[in-house]
Amino acid sequence: MKILSICIPTYNRIDELKKLLDSIEYEINCNKLESKVEICISDNGSTQRIEDMIKEKALNLNIKFNKNLENKGFDFNLEKTTQLATGKYIWFCGDDDEILPNSLNKILSIIKNEEAQIYILDGQVKYNNGIIRKFNALNAKDKKNYNTLKEKEFFEYIDDINNNLSFFCAFITSIIVERELYIKQKIPNSLKNSAYDHMYKLLKAIKNGCKIMYLSDEYYSVGITENDWNKEKGKHFWLDINSLYKFINNLYPESCCEIRQKIGQLLNRGSGKIGMTYNMAYAKKINKKNELLLMMKYFKMHSLKNYLLLIFFSNNLGVEILDKLKKLKKEKRGILQWIR
């Protein structure tokens, strides 16, 4: 049995996937990790000739491959990768990300010496202008443990997340999980296909009690690329809050107020004042304003500020004004830099 299965769901990203596999191949060859690592790829009905590229890469890498005849959705495809896996641990990996040098070696060493069931990995972000920044995912240095059997430590983990939901079991490349623990978690049919099935399973494991370890080193590089969820402001927030509303309602039917409040604080941190305005505008656009208000109340986000934002800014004119203000601010910053 392998120690680590790198699980990669892919769809029509042959160039990005090749870069990812190149980075894995370099890492495996440099550290002689062939016996410890396998790569599990599921292609979601791509029109590109991804399987030809994978056959070539499989000459030097231990690759297991599945191809769906049609696009079955992200959740189905991610699940397919876990069905291919045999490693003790699964590392989910986005097909447009890259593994940084020595990452696999460090991860395998940590897995050998620690006893966590879930690892949350930090990484770096590459912007279009060439700037590279560390994620700084959590307000924690080096390695930090959270035992979710102790409710206080789970709440501490949520409080430590800096500013968005990515590191609350959402962003797949940040997650390594014990394979048997993951496959043991089942999701109700009524909650499937939200694009966050994996989050539900991880939250279910956390509720039942497990050890999370945050690793603050940089293990991967991710680019800021446009996708179906982030190309329209407010859409991703709707995915986040709508999914979490259903998940927490299901996992905590006893109405645990504190966890709802903690998640609400996290959602607020990730949005900010301007971001929340766009979130309100998107909900109004898709005729979900009342549902959004219900969910915000559920997560203890029903502040006077948010209600005022909804009343005064959740319309096309408000969004246009915000866009113009942001553009002016950007132009002003550019002029000041030129003067200096």
Over residues 260-283, mean pLDDT:
86
Which range is least confidently modeled, 105-114, 169-178, 277-286? 277-286
The two three-digit tokens of residue 215, written as one number? 């690793």
Mean pLDDT score across all residues of the chain: 88
With pLDDT > 90 as the criterion, what percentage of the chain qualifies? 69
52-66, 219-233, 273-287: range with highest mean pLDDT:
52-66
Alpha helix positions (H), the chain: 14-31, 50-57, 74-84, 103-113, 151-160, 179-184, 197-208, 235-251, 257-285, 289-298, 304-313, 316-339
| Whole-number Å distance between alpha carbons of 189 and 211 | 27
Would you call 106 exposed, middle or buried from its count of C-beta atoms within 10 A (0-12, 13-18, 19+)? Answer: middle
The two three-digit tokens of residue 264, written as one number? 């609400």
pLDDT at 166 over 80: yes
pLDDT at 335 over 50: no
CA nearest 303: which of 330, 324, 276? 276
Over residues 35-51, mean pLDDT:
96
pLDDT at 116 over 60: yes
Residue 336 has what pLDDT?
A: 39
Residue 326 has what pLDDT?
A: 61
Residue 308 has what pLDDT?
A: 65
pLDDT at 115 over 90: no
Q: What are the pLDDT digits (tens) for 20-29?
A: 999 999 999 9
Residue 209 has what pLDDT?
A: 95
| Whole-number Å distance between alpha carbons of 170 and 175 | 8
Whole-prediction pTM value? 0.89
- Indicate the pLDDT class of residue 253, thresholds 50, 70 and 90: confident
| Whole-number Å distance between alpha carbons of 83 and 197 | 15
Q: What are the pLDDT digits (tens) for 289-331?
A: 889 989 999 999 876 666 666 665 555 566 666 666 666 655 5
Q: Which residue reads 């939250």 in tokens? A: 203
pLDDT at 37 over 60: yes
pLDDT at 196 over 70: yes
pLDDT at 118 over 80: yes
The two three-digit tokens of residue 65, written as one number? 């491959």
With pLDDT > 70 as the criterion, what percentage of the chain qualifies? 86
SS3 category, 225: coil
What would be the CATH architecture of the domain defined by 4-223? Alpha-Beta Complex (3.90)
Residue 195 has what pLDDT?
A: 95
Residues of the chain with CATH 3.90.550.10: 4-223
| Whole-number Å distance between alpha carbons of 54 and 58 | 6
pLDDT at 228 over 80: no
Residue 309 has what pLDDT?
A: 61
Q: What are the pLDDT digits (tens) for 54-96?
A: 999 999 999 999 999 999 999 999 999 999 999 999 999 999 9
pLDDT at 337 over 50: no
| Whole-number Å distance between alpha carbons of 65 and 81 | 8
pLDDT at 338 over 50: no
pLDDT at 162 over 70: yes
Question: Phi first, then psi: what are they for 65, rounded to 5°?
Answer: -130, 135
